[in-house]
């Protein structure tokens, strides 16, 4: 059964038509709360476009604590980046456009399947809860191209893999023009675009089948070969991929395009840390400042952000103290310039592996040690053997 709250009779009939005769229409949120109190196995609730958005968010925030297996699906007449961002933060599982009845039926079916799997895991006693995703997600972002995002992301992933402190996945979220495959000289058989065809069957094993191994030990999910494929990959799929990678790996590093689009915001919401990259030039610093102001406006927590200055030793007449004063935020890492970086990239090898004593390598490893590994060395991390034990059915509890 799926519970529906919608005050417009026409809207009610439309939603019921999409979900089938077993859907239960309730007159309001109070009635919904009573229904949930008396139906502990309800899997999904659908809140229609006439239900106040803030009321939906308040309910979702409460339910993700009291009923973590319950999926909240919100239907809106108009969907934009702000709505998606606020919804993800509140705990709404999916947002569907009012006229997308097929999408609504798919979203509800997906939430019911998730709830069923969660209950089955709990019945088996394998310790599954809403917090089964233990991997640490780090997103690398810059609002200006040419700042070295891909170089930074590939080197961070390689540094972690070579440290031996966990398994690493590298996700190229620059869906139209991603360069991870080129930077690491990978020849992938599959890309994230292949996840579209898998659809609702996408799970951990399916995601693993799309990965391309690098000799460093990093497993990469690369961007599509054709830029047009990017249009077929929606934010729901991106979110699902990140969640699955987080379940499968100890660390997930995400490379991004130079734009705060829906997919990037979804990555931010799933991230434990975001490395904001800039160089010592006015356009890059201006874009970084705008990025910080935008994230402040949507309420993104500053404590998740780390500002990294690439090519920090460039003599351009800008003092670091003045830059920090302008940004109103500290620069936590400074990566020097080196001609060896593009040379290493052209060979398809991360410089941290190719030249470990290079000042660039030393600076990147220091950033990884101080801001990524150090935050994931206690009970946040699950050793790989324990993760494998959990998959094979052996009991593991936090």
Distances (CA, A) of 54 to 35, 90, 203: 21, 10, 32
Please give the mean pLDDT across all residues of the chain.
Answer: 85
Residue 284 clears pLDDT 70, i.e. is over it: yes
Give the per-residue pLDDT at 383: 41
Put residue 290 in one of left, alpha, beta given phi > 0 → left and psi -120 to 50 → alpha. Answer: alpha
Beta-carbon contacts of residue 232 (< 8 Å; ≥ 6 apart):
193, 196
Per-residue pLDDT, averaged over 362-377, amounts to 85
Q: Could you tell me the pLDDT band of residue 123, with boundaries at 50, 70 and 90?
A: low
Per-residue pLDDT, averaged over 161-179, amounts to 93
Cα separation, 146 vs 257, whole angstroms = 11
Say how many residues make up the chain: 398
Do the domains at 2-124 and 136-386 have one common CATH topology? yes
DSSP per residue, 26-45: ESSHHHHHHHHHH-TT--EE
- Give the position of tokens 């705990």: 91
User: Which token pair is 80?
Assistant: 């934009």
Q: Which of 247, 272, 241, 230 is nearest to 139 (CA)?
A: 272
Number of helices (H), then strands (E), belonging to the chain: the values are 17, 13
Per-residue pLDDT, averaged over 345-354, amounts to 88
Higher pLDDT, 316 or 256: 256
CATH superfamily of 136-386: P-loop containing nucleotide triphosphate hydrolases (3.40.50.300)
Q: Are strands 71-76 and 331-335 parallel, antiparallel or unpaired?
A: unpaired
Cα separation, 382 vs 387, whole angstroms = 6
The residues that bridge with 330 in the sheet, in sequence order, are: none
- H helix runs in the chain, sequence order: 9-19, 29-38, 53-66, 81-90, 101-124, 149-163, 180-183, 195-198, 204-209, 235-248, 262-270, 282-297, 320-327, 340-346, 351-354, 359-368, 384-391
Residue-wise pLDDT for 288-303, tens only, equals 999 999 998 888 999 9
Residue 396 clears pLDDT 80, i.e. is over it: no
Cα separation, 71 vs 133, whole angstroms = 17
Give the per-residue pLDDT at 384: 41
Burial of 121 (0-12, 13-18, 19+ CB in 10 A): middle
Residue-wise pLDDT for 203-229, tens only, equals 888 899 999 999 899 999 999 999 999
Burial of 100 (0-12, 13-18, 19+ CB in 10 A): middle
Let me know if domain 2-124 sits in CATH 1.10.3720.10: no
Residue-wise pLDDT for 43-84, tens only, equals 899 999 999 999 999 998 888 778 878 889 999 998 887 787
Residue 398 clears pLDDT 60, i.e. is over it: no
The dihedral of CA 162, 168, 173, 179: what is its sign? positive
User: Which token pair is 296?
Assistant: 């402040």
Give the per-residue pLDDT at 9: 92
Give the per-residue pLDDT at 265: 93
Residue-wise pLDDT for 235-251, tens only, equals 999 999 999 999 999 99
Domain boundaries, the chain: 2-124, 136-386
Cα separation, 90 vs 61, whole angstroms = 5
Beta-carbon contacts of residue 289 (< 8 Å; ≥ 6 apart):
326, 327
| φ/ψ of residue 174, rounded to 5 | -80, 80
Higher pLDDT, 202 or 374: 202
Residue 131 clears pLDDT 60, i.e. is over it: no
Residue 8 clears pLDDT 70, i.e. is over it: yes
Burial of 276 (0-12, 13-18, 19+ CB in 10 A): buried
Residue-wise pLDDT for 100-114, tens only, equals 898 898 888 888 887
Q: Which of 327, 338, 329 is nearest to 286 (CA)?
A: 327
Give the per-residue pLDDT at 351: 93
């Amino acid at each position: 059964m799926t519970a529906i709250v919608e005050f417009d009779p026409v809207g009610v009939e439309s939603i019921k038509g999409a979900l089938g005769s077993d859907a239960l229409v309730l007159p309001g949120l109070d009635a919904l709360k009573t229904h949930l109190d008396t139906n502990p196995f309800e899997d999904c609730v659908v809140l229609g476009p006439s239900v106040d958005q803030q009321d939906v968010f308040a309910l979702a925030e409460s339910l993700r604590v009291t009923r973590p297996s319950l999926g909240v699906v919100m239907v809106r007449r108009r969907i934009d980046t702000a709505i998606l961002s606020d919804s993800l933060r509140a705990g709404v599982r999916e947002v569907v456009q009012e006229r997308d009845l097929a999408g609504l039926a798919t979203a509800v079916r997906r939430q019911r399947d998730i709830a069923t799997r969660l209950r089955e895991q709990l019945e088996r006693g394998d310790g599954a809860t809403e917090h089964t995703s233990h991997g640490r997600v780090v997103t690398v972002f810059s609002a200006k191209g040419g700042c070295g995002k891909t170089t930074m992301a590939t080197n961070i992933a390689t540094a972690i893999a070579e440290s031996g402190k966990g398994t690493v996945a590298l996700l190229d979220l620059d869906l139209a023009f991603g360069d991870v495959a080129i930077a690491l000289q990978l020849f992938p058989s599959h890309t994230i675009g292949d996840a579209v065809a898998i659809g609702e069957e996408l799970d951990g094993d399916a995601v693993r089948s799309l990965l391309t191994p690098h000799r460093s030990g990093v497993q990469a999910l690369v961007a599509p070969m054709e830029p047009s494929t990017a249009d077929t990959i929606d934010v729901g799929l991106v979110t699902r991929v990140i969640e699955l990678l987080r379940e499968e790996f100890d660390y997930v590093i995400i490379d991004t395009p130079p734009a705060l689009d829906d997919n990037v915001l979804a990555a931010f919401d799933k991230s434990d840390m975001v490395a904001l990259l800039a160089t010592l030039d006015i356009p890059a610093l201006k874009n970084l400042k705008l990025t910080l102001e935008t994230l402040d406006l949507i309420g993104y927590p500053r404590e998740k952000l780390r500002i990294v200055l690439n090519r920090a030793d460039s003599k351009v007449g800008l003092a670091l103290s003045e830059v920090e004063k302008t940004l109103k935020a500290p620069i936590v890492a400074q990566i020097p310039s080196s001609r060896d970086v593009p040379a290493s990239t052209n060979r398809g090898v991360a410089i941290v592996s190719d030249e470990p004593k290079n000042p660039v390598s030393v600076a990147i490893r220091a950033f990884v040690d101080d801001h990524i590994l150090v935050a994931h060395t206690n009970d946040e991390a699950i050793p790989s053997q324990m993760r494998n034990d959990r998959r094979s059915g052996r009991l593991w509890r936090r």
